[in-house]
């Protein structure tokens, strides 16, 4: 230190990269380094000995001033930051600045120092931080821009979600109308062409809804709003739904679909059956889509089993086009498809597998694929599911005597054969499996010789040389009745096709592939003579839910859209429920206060008062605490259900209305009323004159069999509704018994158009009742008549009239014997002109039905015809009947008027 | 001297109160200057004051904060030698600076200028404490410039880093065990335009040698006896 003289130190300070000023106690500048000279453009001579605050007047009373005083008085140092020093030293920076100002951004440090005598001086050091400030300014601007961009993106995303929710609502409202109206239209009497059109509208609308649902699901997944339910379910029900949805498509392509569930797999589970079904349906649909010929096997194995939980391994295997490794890699990505070229053969949104993947992951599993091009693909996924109970045994034979019963299986498809064999073995039967009809006969004869005959034979319909039907006929021919095994026909084709082909082949039971284990088990028991409710399962699924206990319940339907009102009302009324309509939430609240309802179906978005507010209002009154309120909404976005439950609603069903779900939900929430419990405040019901309708009871006695008619098919056509089917049979019998004569008469008069119309109508009705042959003969006749010629009538007429004769005599027998009490009291009808009093009730009912456009009018016309047979007015009644039959209700009403005038009623 | 040192160093309740009073006065002034600087009301309060050995101070800090901390350090020398540290929890210091400067852009790190600002603020606050000492005591101080530090609580309190800075002025033969620390908890409250109050907590740690503590106690006794 001693070697350093003052000039050396001053030189060092001159070359340092910080500005340095030293002030004495009076604020006079005693040192001003080179850096300061450059930055202030003031030479030392101009400043030395002068007060800092006369040099820079603006610094008086600034932070810098205070800091200098602080240092001089108490020795405390101060660091003055750029941002918090509004009045810095007026310095020039060396570099040009973007903003044009040459001011230097600075950081100032002010400290106290002492000389040898102990006198305090103030040392000021200034750093040029202009570059740093510019850089950070830039950085902040960028950050601000990024922030803005992020906000725009977030807003856009929110807008997208809102848009989807809105569009979902907007799309679902008309979809509900299309699907609902098509559903209702299909229940009316349509001719086969109309039925074909409407059912195609129906299925296309459902397909479109599927796509919309996929898009919604995907957006929910993106938003992390997809939820998995946890409810008890039966695995077989899920498989049943899968079978129902894919069987038809598979059949069209001639593919064999088999289900195989390992013996150890428990059936009573807890999880999300809809989502599980969604995955399986998606995979199975893909399998059908990408397979031209061969098999599709859906199998379920048990991976792990704990007391309350199981891990299941699901497999969907096809023999289709398969996937390359590269395609497999892209498979589970959104919007990606194996073949994304514009010439691709297979359509689709490409969202299905992405959704599956996410759903599987949410169910605690993984999904993967094994595949080779042109060899087929196998999609695997696992799932963790809770068990409802620990019972293992799914199918218990009713008695020990059936254990080990010998059973024969004949199927030429090895995969299907093996699965059938395993399933039957899981019921504890002793199974022999063969690959053809010939082998089956051989085995049956061998077993009979060995005095160990088969009790049941399962025959595939389509087998090489000797198909199932021929095999069955052969078995019937060869075996005496006593030793005849029960014959069960298994087919991938629709029942009616087989039933037609297998007429008189002596088949006991039909099973449709893919065979559902529960259905098979029940069929087997029924074949063995055990009483089961087999019919319930072999029927096409109708409403899927027995509404018996809640029939007659009063429902308040709150809905602003008129079409949707109609759809919901007719669906509910068809099930025997009384419907009252409120157009908005306010009306709903008023209605609830004025009447007694068993349940409220509540739309959410409505004018005047929305569904949420209405529900809250209703719930705020303690007397409605238990009134079931079910939200019915086109908003199928996540969170809807939660919102509904939050305002006190009981459940949420989404539009378009899926009738089974709606009915099931109503069933769940409406308390069945005790019989005879009169409604304290009866409602005006929208059902027209219900007391005039024929008794609608589910116990309507239907014939066990009708010649030429497949009752199961017929019942299936009317959604399993027995009363309706009864009505149709009645209609056909009373209105068309003399169809051959009517057509003949029209032809005799040369009125081809009338003849054609008669044949056309009759054909439709024959189809509806399930009289396949009758329908076909009528169809041929119709086609001929349409071309306005009678060429070939000689060939067509006899089979037609024979078939009419066959079916009508069957019906005659049925109506005569089975329900004489319900048919009009034929014997008491006077042959002479009945009195006005006698005619009055019939005609007033008839007027009402004609006004309503109800084809039940035909029943009453038939009754009137009976009463007035032999009277001249009879011809007019027949004319009216024709009009009603053609749904020309206006014309029919006109004729009716003439008749009443004539009869003076 | 040796015997005295064995006794636990304690400030009487009265002495502690007096000290707290001095600090609070200083803090009030600091809050005033800060409020002027940021043109926004800033409140500084000192809810807790503790005299603990160095080890305990370390524990207290480590318990409350695991993550990275930032701190402003100011050493002082002379008759009374020690280190003053203002410690902010890492993220809260960020928030403090941004509330003070009305910055609304969230960046994950303190920028250079923000560090500088925090240094400025810390300096103002620490000066308030140090000024309380200079005003109440007859002893002479020398102060070093404030520094900005960043690191774990262990790193910030690492005695040797402070010792290194003070090596020359420390008495020979003083063991690290003898280091004493005041741990002062303090709250910063700032309110923004919407009158929402932002409350942040920080620690002020004053590290003294044993000897310095005795000087401090002596000075306090003098002051109290003069009242």
Nearest to B91 by CA among B116, B113, B108: B108
B108 touches chain A (CB under 8 A): no
A12 touches chain B (CB under 8 A): no
Q: What is the mean pLDDT of residues A745-758?
A: 81
C-alpha B73/C-alpha B161 separation (Å) is 11
Provide the shortest C-alpha distance from residue B91 to chain A (in Å): 18
Nearest to B150 by CA among B87, B62, B57: B87
A100: left (phi over 0), alpha (psi -120 to 50) or beta: left
Q: Which of residues 138-197 of B touch A (CB under 8 A)?
A: 141-146
A84 touches chain B (CB under 8 A): yes
Q: Please give the radius of gyration of chain A, using alpha carbons only, rounded to the nearest integer.
A: 43
Query: Which of A68, A84, A120 should we substitute to test contact with B (largest number of B Cβ atoms within 10 Å)?
Result: A84
- For the cut 70, the answer to whether the pLDDT of residue A496 exceeds it is no
User: What's the pLDDT at A551?
Assistant: 79
- For the cut 80, the answer to whether the pLDDT of residue A52 exceeds it is yes
What is the distance in angstroms between the CA of the first residue and the CA of the last residue of chain B? 28
C-alpha A297/C-alpha A256 separation (Å) is 8
Q: Do B145 and A111 touch (CB under 8 A)?
A: yes
Output A859 or A147, whichever has higher pLDDT: A147
User: What's the pLDDT at A113?
Assistant: 92
Give the number of residues written for chain B.
227
SS3 A380: strand
Phi, psi of A510 (to 5 degrees): -110, 140
pLDDT band at A540 (very low <50, low <70, confident <90, very high): very low
Phi, psi of A251 (to 5 degrees): -65, -40
Q: Closest to B146 (Cβ–Cβ): which among A77, A112, A140?
A: A77
| 3-state DSSP percent of chain A in helix, strand and coil, to 5 | 50, 15, 35
Q: Do A147 and B106 touch (CB under 8 A)?
A: yes
Helix (H) or strand (E) holding B20: helix B13-38
Q: pTM for this structure?
A: 0.46
Nearest to A364 by CA among A385, A379, A341, A339: A385
- For the cut 90, the answer to whether the pLDDT of residue A53 exceeds it is yes
C-alpha B12/C-alpha A389 separation (Å) is 72
Are B110 and B93 in contact by the 8 Å Cβ rule? The answer is yes
Q: Closest to A81 (Cβ–Cβ): which among B33, B120, B130?
A: B120
User: What's the pLDDT at A824?
Assistant: 41
Q: What is the mean pLDDT of residues B197-209?
A: 77
- For the cut 90, the answer to whether the pLDDT of residue B5 exceeds it is no
Q: A119-123, A678-682, A857-861, B52-56: lowest mean pLDDT where? A: A678-682
Q: Do B116 and A129 touch (CB under 8 A)?
A: yes
User: What's the pLDDT at A343?
Assistant: 45
The overall average pLDDT reported for chain A is 80
SS3 A861: helix
pLDDT tens-digit readout, A254-290: 888 888 888 788 888 888 888 899 899 989 988 998 8
C-alpha B68/C-alpha B119 separation (Å) is 17
User: What's the pLDDT at A690?
Assistant: 35
- For the cut 60, the answer to whether the pLDDT of residue A677 exceeds it is no
Within 13 Å and on the Cβ side, how many CA atoms surround B31?
Answer: 18
Question: Residues of B with CB below 8 A from A85's CB?
Answer: 120
User: What's the pLDDT at B194?
Assistant: 57
> Which CATH architecture fits B11-225?
3-Layer(aba) Sandwich (3.40)
C-alpha A233/C-alpha A274 separation (Å) is 10
Query: Which of A75, A128, A140, A142 should we substitute to test contact with B (largest number of B Cβ atoms within 10 Å)?
Result: A75
Query: Which of A61, A79, A139, A146 should we substitute to test contact with B (largest number of B Cβ atoms within 10 Å)?
Result: A79
Q: Do A74 and B134 touch (CB under 8 A)?
A: yes
* DSSP structure class, residue B67: S
Supply the angle between the helices A793-817 and A772-786 in degrees, to the nearest 10: 140
Q: What is the mean pLDDT of residues B60-74?
A: 75
Question: Residues of A with CB below 8 A from B116's CB?
Answer: 79, 81-83, 107, 129
C-alpha A186/C-alpha A202 separation (Å) is 9
- For the cut 90, the answer to whether the pLDDT of residue B55 exceeds it is no
pLDDT band at A542 (very low <50, low <70, confident <90, very high): very low
| 3-state DSSP percent of chain B in helix, strand and coil, to 5 | 50, 25, 20
CA distances from A662 to A32, A531, A652, A667, A752 (A): 91, 31, 9, 9, 47
Output A66 or A658, whichever has higher pLDDT: A66
Q: A126-130, A359-363, A483-487: lowest mean pLDDT where? A: A483-487
A76 touches chain B (CB under 8 A): yes
Q: Do A84 and B106 touch (CB under 8 A)?
A: no
SS3 A491: strand
pLDDT tens-digit readout, A326-340: 888 878 876 666 555
Torsion of CA A566, A568, A571, A576, to 10 degrees: -100
Percent of chain B with pLDDT over 90: 1
Residues 6+ apart with CB under 8 A from A773: A500, A708, A803
SS3 A323: coil
Are A537 and A544 in contact by the 8 Å Cβ rule? The answer is no
What angle (nearest 5°) sits at the alpha carbon of residue A807, between those of residues A806 and A813? 90
Nearest to A277 by CA among A254, A246, A318: A246
User: What's the pLDDT at A639?
Assistant: 60
Q: Closest to A79 (Cβ–Cβ): which among B119, B130, B141?
A: B119
pLDDT band at A212 (very low <50, low <70, confident <90, very high): confident
Question: Residues of A with CB below 8 A from B133's CB?
Answer: none
Provide the shortest C-alpha distance from residue B223 to chain A (in Å): 19
Are A239 and A284 in contact by the 8 Å Cβ rule? The answer is no
B21 touches chain A (CB under 8 A): no
Three-state DSSP string of B130-168: HHHHHHHCCCCEEECCCEEEEECHHHHHCHHHHHHHHHH
C-alpha A512/C-alpha A533 separation (Å) is 17
A75 touches chain B (CB under 8 A): yes
Provide the shortest C-alpha distance from residue B61 to chain A (in Å): 26
Q: What is the mean pLDDT of residues A181-193?
A: 85
Residues 6+ apart with CB under 8 A from B160: none
The per-residue DSSP string of A193-209 comes to: HHHHHHHHHHHHHHHHH
How many helices (DSSP H) and strands (DSSP E) are in chain B?
8, 7
Q: Do B143 and A84 touch (CB under 8 A)?
A: no
B199 touches chain A (CB under 8 A): no
Q: Please give the radius of gyration of chain B, using alpha carbons only, rounded to the nearest integer.
A: 18
Percent of chain A with pLDDT over 90: 14
pLDDT band at A747 (very low <50, low <70, confident <90, very high): confident
- For the cut 50, the answer to whether the pLDDT of residue A221 exceeds it is yes
Q: Closest to A144 (Cβ–Cβ): which among B105, B116, B130?
A: B105
CA distances from A788 to A745, A775, A871, B101 (A): 16, 20, 34, 94
Query: Which of B33, B105, B141, B144 should we substitute to test contact with A (largest number of A Cβ atoms within 10 Å)?
Result: B105
Residue A54 in tokens: 């006369």
Output A617 or B173, whichever has higher pLDDT: A617
- For the cut 60, the answer to whether the pLDDT of residue A873 exceeds it is yes
User: What's the pLDDT at A750?
Assistant: 80
Q: Closest to A81 (Cβ–Cβ): which among B106, B117, B145?
A: B117
Question: Considering only alpha carbons, which residue of chain B is nearest residue A107?
Answer: B116
- For the cut 50, the answer to whether the pLDDT of residue A562 exceeds it is yes
C-alpha A382/C-alpha A276 separation (Å) is 11
User: What's the pLDDT at A156?
Assistant: 86
Question: Residues of B with CB below 8 A from A107's CB?
Answer: 116
Query: Which of A62, A72, A77, A133 should we substitute to test contact with B (largest number of B Cβ atoms within 10 Å)?
Result: A77
Provide the shortest C-alpha distance from residue A31 to chain B (in Å): 20
Torsion of CA A769, A771, A772, A777, to 10 degrees: -120
Q: Do B113 and A82 touch (CB under 8 A)?
A: yes
Q: Do B134 and A76 touch (CB under 8 A)?
A: yes
Question: Considering only alpha carbons, which residue of chain B is nearest residue A137?
Answer: B113
Supply the angle between the helices A468-478 and A437-449 in degrees, to the nearest 10: 20
Q: Closest to A107 (Cβ–Cβ): which among B116, B124, B131?
A: B116
- For the cut 50, the answer to whether the pLDDT of residue A232 exceeds it is yes
Are A32 and A44 in contact by the 8 Å Cβ rule? The answer is yes
Other C-beta atoms closer than 10 Å to the C-beta of A793 total 14
C-alpha B201/C-alpha A175 separation (Å) is 59
**Highest mean pLDDT pick, A44-53, A776-785, A811-820, B32-41:** A44-53
User: What's the pLDDT at A154?
Assistant: 86
C-alpha B10/C-alpha A407 separation (Å) is 99
Question: Residues of A with CB below 8 A from B124's CB?
Answer: 78
Torsion of CA A739, A744, A750, A756, to 10 degrees: 40
- For the cut 80, the answer to whether the pLDDT of residue A347 exceeds it is no
- For the cut 60, the answer to whether the pLDDT of residue A498 exceeds it is yes
* DSSP structure class, residue A545: S
User: What's the pLDDT at B180?
Assistant: 66
Q: What is the mean pLDDT of residues A866-892?
A: 79
Output A123 or A221, whichever has higher pLDDT: A123
Are A763 and A191 in contact by the 8 Å Cβ rule? The answer is yes
What ipTM score was computed for the predicted complex, to two decimals?
Answer: 0.83
CA distances from B54 to A513, B30, B169, B205, B220 (A): 83, 26, 19, 10, 21
Kindly tell me the burial class for residue A705, based on how many C-beta atoms sit within 10 Å of its own C-beta (0-12, 13-18, 19 or more).
exposed
Q: Which residues pair with A432 in a beta bridge?
A: A408
Provide the shortest C-alpha distance from residue B150 to chain A (in Å): 18
Q: Do B143 and A77 touch (CB under 8 A)?
A: yes
Question: Residues of A with CB below 8 A from B33's CB?
Answer: 66
pLDDT tens-digit readout, A776-813: 888 888 878 877 777 778 888 888 888 888 888 888 87
A80 touches chain B (CB under 8 A): yes
Query: Which of A81, A134, A141 should we substitute to test contact with B (largest number of B Cβ atoms within 10 Å)?
Result: A81
Torsion of CA A619, A621, A622, A625, to 10 degrees: -20
User: What's the pLDDT at A417?
Assistant: 87
Q: Do A136 and B116 touch (CB under 8 A)?
A: no
Q: A108-122, A420-434, A532-546, B113-127: lowest mean pLDDT where? A: A532-546
C-alpha A205/C-alpha A176 separation (Å) is 9
A798 touches chain B (CB under 8 A): no
Residue entry with tokens 């009030």: B28
Helix (H) or strand (E) holding A359: helix A352-362
pLDDT tens-digit readout, A142-158: 888 998 999 999 888 87
SS3 A797: helix
C-alpha A727/C-alpha A739 separation (Å) is 18
pLDDT band at A680 (very low <50, low <70, confident <90, very high): very low
Output B104 or A867, whichever has higher pLDDT: A867
Q: Closest to B143 (Cβ–Cβ): which among A75, A81, A129?
A: A75
Residue A885 in tokens: 């039959």
Question: Residues of B with CB below 8 A from A78's CB?
Answer: 123-124, 127
pLDDT tens-digit readout, B143-199: 888 999 888 777 777 655 565 445 444 444 445 445 666 777 777 777 665 566 677
Q: Is-cis flag, bond preceding B212, omega within 30?
A: no
Count of pairs with CB atoms under 8 A, one residue in A, one in B: 75
């Amino acid at each position: 230190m001693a070697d350093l003289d003052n000039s050396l130190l001053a030189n060092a300070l001159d070359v340092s990269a910080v500005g340095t000023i030293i002030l004495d106690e009076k604020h006079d500048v005693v040192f001003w380094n080179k850096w300061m000279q450059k930055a202030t453009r003031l030479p030392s001579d101009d400043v030395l000995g002068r007060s800092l605050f006369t040099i820079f007047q603006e610094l008086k009373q600034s932070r810098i001033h205070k800091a200098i005083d602080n240092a001089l008085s108490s020795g405390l140092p101060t660091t003055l930051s750029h941002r918090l020093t509004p009045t810095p030293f007026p310095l020039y920076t060396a570099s040009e600045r973007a903003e044009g100002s040459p001011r230097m951004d600075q950081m100032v440090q002010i400290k106290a120092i002492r000389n040898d005598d102990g006198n305090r001086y103030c040392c000021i050091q200034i750093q040029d931080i202009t570059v740093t400030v510019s850089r950070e300014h830039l950085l902040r601007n960028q950050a601000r821009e990024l922030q803005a961009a992020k906000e725009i993106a977030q807003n856009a995303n929110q807008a997208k979600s809102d848009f989807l929710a809105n569009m979902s609502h907007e799309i679902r409202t008309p979809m509900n109308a299309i699907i609902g109206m098509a559903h209702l239209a299909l229940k009316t009497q349509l001719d086969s062409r109309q039925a074909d059109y409407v059912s195609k509208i129906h299925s296309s609308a459902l397909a479109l809804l599927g796509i919309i649902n996929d898009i919604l699901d995907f957006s929910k997944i993106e938003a992390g709003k997809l939820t998995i339910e946890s409810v008890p379910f039966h695995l077989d029900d899920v498989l049943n739904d899968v079978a129902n949805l894919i069987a038809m498509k598979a059949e069209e392509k001639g593919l064999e679909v088999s289900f195989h569930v390992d013996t150890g797999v428990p059936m009573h589970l807890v999880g999300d059956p809809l989502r599980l079904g969604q995955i399986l349906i998606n995979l199975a649909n893909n399998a059908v889509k990408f397979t031209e010929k061969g098999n599709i096997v859906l199998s379920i194995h048990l991976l792990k089993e704990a007391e309350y939980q199981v891990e299941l391994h699901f497999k969907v295997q096809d023999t289709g086009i398969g996937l390359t490794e590269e395609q497999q890699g892209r498979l589970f990505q959104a919007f990606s498809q194996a073949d994304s070229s514009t010439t691709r053969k297979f359509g689709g949104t490409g969202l299905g597998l992405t959704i599956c993947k996410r759903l599987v992951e949410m169910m605690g599993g993984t999904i993967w694929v094994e595949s080779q091009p042109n060899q087929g693909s196998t999609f695997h996924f696992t799932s963790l599911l809770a068990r409802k109970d620990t019972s293992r045994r799914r199918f218990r034979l009713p008695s020990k005597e059936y254990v080990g019963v010998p059973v024969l299986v004949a199927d030429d498809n090895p995969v299907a054969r093996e699965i059938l064999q395993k399933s039957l073995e899981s019921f504890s039967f002793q199974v022999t499996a063969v690959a053809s009809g010939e082998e089956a006969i051989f085995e049956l004869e061998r077993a009979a010789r060995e005095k160990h005959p088969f009790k049941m034979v399962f025959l595939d319909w389509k087998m090489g040389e000797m198909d199932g039907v021929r095999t069955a006929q052969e078995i019937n021919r060869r075996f005496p009745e006593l030793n005849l095994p029960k014959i069960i026909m298994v087919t991938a084709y629709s029942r009616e096709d087989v039933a037609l082909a297998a007429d008189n082949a002596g088949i006991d039971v039909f099973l449709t592939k893919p065979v559902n284990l529960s259905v098979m088990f029940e069929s087997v028991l029924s074949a063995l003579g055990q009483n089961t409710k087999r019919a319930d399962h072999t029927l096409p699924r109708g409403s899927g839910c027995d509404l018996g206990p809640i029939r007659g319940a009063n429902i308040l339907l709150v809905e602003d859209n008129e079409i949707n009102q109609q759809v919901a009302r007719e669906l509910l009324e068809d099930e025997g429920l009384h419907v009252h309509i409120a157009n908005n939430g306010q009306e709903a609240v008023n209605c609830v206060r004025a009447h007694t309802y068993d349940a409220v179906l509540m739309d959410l978005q409505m004018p005047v008062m929305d569904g949420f507010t209405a529900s809250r209002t209703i719930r705020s009154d303690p007397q409605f605490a238990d009134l079931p309120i079910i939200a019915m909404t086109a908003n199928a976005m996540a969170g809807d259900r939660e919102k509904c439950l939050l305002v006190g609603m009981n459940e949420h069903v989404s539009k378009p209305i899926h009738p089974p779900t709606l009915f099931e939900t109503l069933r769940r929430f409406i308390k069945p009323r005790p019989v005879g419990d009169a409604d304290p405040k009866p409602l005006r019901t929208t059902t027209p004159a219900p007391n005039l309708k024929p008794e609608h009871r589910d116990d309507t006695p239907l014939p066990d069999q009708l010649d030429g008619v497949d009752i199961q098919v017929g019942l299936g056509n009317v959604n399993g509704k027995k009363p309706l089917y009864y009505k149709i049979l009645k209609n056909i019998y009373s209105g068309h018994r003399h169809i051959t004569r009517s057509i003949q008469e029209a032809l005799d008069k040369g009125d081809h158009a009338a003849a054609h119309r008669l044949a056309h109508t009759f054909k439709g009705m024959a189809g509806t009742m399930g009289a396949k042959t009758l329908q076909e003969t009528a169809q041929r006749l119709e086609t001929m008549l349409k071309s306005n010629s009678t060429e070939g009538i000689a060939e067509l007429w006899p089979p037609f009239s024979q078939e009419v004769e066959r079916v009508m005599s069957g019906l005659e027998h049925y109506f005569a014997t089975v329900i004489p009490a319900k048919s009009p009291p034929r014997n008491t009808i006077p042959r002479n002109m009945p009195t006005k009093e006698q005619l009055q009730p019939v005609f007033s009912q008839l007027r009402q039905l004609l006004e309503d456009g109800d084809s039940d009018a035909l029943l009453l016309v038939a009754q009137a015809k009976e009463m007035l047979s032999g009277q001249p007015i009879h011809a007019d009644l027949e004319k009216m009947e024709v009009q009603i039959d053609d749904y020309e209700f206006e014309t029919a009403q006109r004729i009716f008027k003439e008749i009443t005038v004539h009869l003076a009623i | 001297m040796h015997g005295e040192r064995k006794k636990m160093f304690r400030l009487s309740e009265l002495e502690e109160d007096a000290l707290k009073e001095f600090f609070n006065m200083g803090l009030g002034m600091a809050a005033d200057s800060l409020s002027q600087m940021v043109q926004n009301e800033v409140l500084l309060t000192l809810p807790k004051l503790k005299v603990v050995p160095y080890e305990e101070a370390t524990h207290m800090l480590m318990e409350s904060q695991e993550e990275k901390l930032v701190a402003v350090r100011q050493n002082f020398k002379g008759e009374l030698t020690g280190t003053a540290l203002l410690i902010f929890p890492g993220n809260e210091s960020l928030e403090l600076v941004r509330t003070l400067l009305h910055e609304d852009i969230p960046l994950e790190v303190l920028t250079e200028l923000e560090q500088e600002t925090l240094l400025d603020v810390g300096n103002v606050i620490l000066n308030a404490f140090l000024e309380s000492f200079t005003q109440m005591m007859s002893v002479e101080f020398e102060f070093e410039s404030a520094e900005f530090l960043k690191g774990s609580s262990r790193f910030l309190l690492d005695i040797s880093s402070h010792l290194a800075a003070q090596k020359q002025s420390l008495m020979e033969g003083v063991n690290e065990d003898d280091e004493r620390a005041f741990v002062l908890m303090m709250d910063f409250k700032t309110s923004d335009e919407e009158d929402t109050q932002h409350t942040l907590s920080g620690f002020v740690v004053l590290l003294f040698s044993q000897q310095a503590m005795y000087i401090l106690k002596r000075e306090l006794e003098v002051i109290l006896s003069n009242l």
